[in-house]
A and B are shown apart, each in its own frame.
Chain A
Amino acid sequence: MAITEEKLGEILEVYPEKVRVNRRRHIVLKEPDTNAAQQIEANTRTLPGIITNRGCAFAGCKGVVVGPIKDMVHIVHGPVGCAFYTWGARRNKARAGEDGKNYVNYCFSTDMQESDIVFGGEKKLAKLIDETVEIFHPNAISIAATCPVGLIGDDISAVARAAEERHGIQVLAFQCEGYKGVSQSAGHHIANNLLMDKVIGNTEVEKCDEPYAVNLLGEYNIGGDGWEVERILKDIGYHVVCVMTGDGSYEDLRLAHTADLNLVQCHRSINYIAEMLEIKYGTPWLKVNFVGIKSTCDSLRAMAAYFGDKDLMQKTEDVIARETARIQPVIDQYRKVCEGKTAFCFVGGSRGHHYQGLFAEIGVETVLAGYEFAHRDDYEGREVIPSIKKDADSKNIPDLHVEADTKRFKIKIDPERLAKLREKFPFDEYKGMIVDMKEGTIIVDDLNHFETEEFIRLLHPDIVSSGIKDKYVIQKMGIPSKQLHSYDYSGPYAGFNGAVNFARDISMSFATPTWNYIVPPWKNQPLLNATINGDELNA
Chain B
Amino acid sequence: MLDYTPKEMIERHSGGMINPAKTCQPVGAMYAALGIHGCLPHSHGSQGCCSFHRMHLTRHFRDPIMASTSSFTEGASVFGGGANLKTAIKNVFTIYNPDVIAIHTTCLSETIGDDIPTAIRQSEIPEGKVVFHANTPSYQGSHITGFSNMTNAMVTYFAEASVPQKENFANIIPGFVNPADMREIKRLTEAMGISSILFPDTSGVVDSPMTGKFEMYPAGGTTIPQLKKTGDAKITLSLGRFASQMAAENLEKKCNVPFASLKTPIGIKATDDFLMALRGAFATEIPESLEYERGQLVDVMTDTHFHFYGKKVAVFGDPDVVTAMTEFCLSLGMQPVHVLTGTPGGALGSGLGGFEQEIQGMLDEAGVSGNVKAAGDLFTLHQWIKNEPVDLLIGNTYGKYIARAEDIPFVRFGFPILDRAVHPYMPVVGYRGALRLVEQISDALLDRRDRDAADEDVELVL
Given contacts A16-B94, A113-B139, A178-B108, contact A51 B66 (CB under 8 A): yes
Q: Is the CB of B66 within 8 A of A152?
A: no
8 Å CB contact of B23 from A85, A147, A180:
A85
Chain A residue with Cβ nearest B142: A80
Q: Is the CB of A85 within 8 A of B90?
A: no
Q: Is the CB of B19 within 8 A of A117?
A: no
Most A C-beta atoms less than 10 A away, residue of B26, B111, B208: B111
Interface status of B213 (Cβ within 8 A of chain A): yes
Q: Is the CB of A48 within 8 A of B85?
A: yes
Q: Within the complex, what minimum Cβ distance (angstroms) separates B11 from chain A?
A: 9
Q: Is the CB of B20 within 8 A of A49?
A: no
Q: Is the CB of A58 within 8 A of B48?
A: yes
CA separation between A84 and B378, bound complex, in Å?
12
Binding stretch for chain A, among B51-59, B276-284, B361-369, B424-432: B51-59
Q: Within the complex, what minimum Cβ distance (angstroms) separates A295 from chain B?
A: 29
Q: Which of A105-147 contact B (CB under 8 A)?
A: 105-114, 116-117, 124, 127-128, 130-132, 134-136, 146-147
Interface status of A324 (Cβ within 8 A of chain B): no
Q: Is the CB of A81 within 8 A of B52?
A: yes
Interface status of A337 (Cβ within 8 A of chain B): no
Q: Is the CB of A468 within 8 A of B108?
A: no
8 Å CB contact of A518 from B27, B87, B210:
B210
Residues of chain A with a CB closer than 8 A to B88's CB: 48-49
Residues of chain B with a CB closer than 8 A to A128's CB: 14-16
Binding stretch for chain A, among B67-75, B147-155, B448-456: B67-75
Binding stretch for chain A, among B39-47, B324-332, B435-443: B39-47
Q: Is the CB of A392 within 8 A of B137?
A: no
Given contacts A131-B14, A148-B111, A393-B75, contact A84 B23 (CB under 8 A): yes
Q: Is the CB of A179 within 8 A of B72?
A: yes
Count of interface residues, chain A, beta-carbon cutoff 8 Å: 85
Q: Within the complex, what minimum Cβ distance (angstroms) separates A21 from chain B?
A: 13
Q: Is the CB of A47 within 8 A of B94?
A: no
Given contacts A56-B48, A84-B23, A113-B140, contact A16 B91 (CB under 8 A): yes
Q: Is the CB of A50 within 8 A of B91?
A: yes
Q: Is the CB of A147 within 8 A of B77?
A: yes
8 Å CB contact of A53 from B3, B51, B111, B138:
B51
Interface status of B96 (Cβ within 8 A of chain A): yes
CA separation between A527 and B138, bound complex, in Å?
55
CA separation between A449 and B3, bound complex, in Å?
42
Given contacts A48-B91, A468-B55, contact A178 B84 (CB under 8 A): no
Given contacts A135-B4, A477-B213, contact A45 B73 (CB under 8 A): yes
Residues of chain A with a CB closer than 8 A to B73's CB: 45, 179, 181-182, 393
Residues of chain A with a CB closer than 8 A to B213's CB: 476-477
Interface status of A426 (Cβ within 8 A of chain B): no
Given contacts A52-B47, A54-B47, contact A453 B17 (CB under 8 A): no
Chain B residue with Cβ nearest A52: B47
Given contacts A46-B47, A519-B212, contact A127 B13 (CB under 8 A): yes
CA separation between A123 and B20, bound complex, in Å?
20
Q: Is the CB of B75 within 8 A of A111?
A: no
Interface status of A329 (Cβ within 8 A of chain B): no
Q: Within the complex, what minimum Cβ distance (angstroms) separates B457 from chain A?
A: 34
Q: Is the CB of A78 within 8 A of B70?
A: no
Interface status of A280 (Cβ within 8 A of chain B): no
Q: Is the CB of A79 within 8 A of B138?
A: yes
Q: Is the CB of B65 within 8 A of A469?
A: yes
Interface status of A59 (Cβ within 8 A of chain B): yes
Residues of chain B with a CB closer than 8 A to A181's CB: 73-74
Q: Is the CB of B68 within 8 A of A473?
A: no
Q: What is B's interface to A at a CB cutoff of 8 Å?
A: 1-4, 6, 10, 12-20, 22-24, 26-27, 42, 45-49, 51-56, 58-59, 62-78, 84-85, 87-92, 94-96, 106-108, 111-112, 137-140, 142, 208, 210-215, 342, 398, 401
28 A-B pairs with CB atoms under 8 Å apart are A15-B94, A45-B71, A46-B47, A48-B71, A49-B89, A49-B90, A50-B91, A52-B47, A52-B51, A54-B47, A55-B51, A80-B20, A81-B52, A84-B23, A87-B20, A88-B398, A111-B20, A127-B14, A132-B18, A147-B45, A148-B111, A150-B77, A179-B72, A179-B74, A181-B74, A392-B75, A449-B66, A449-B96
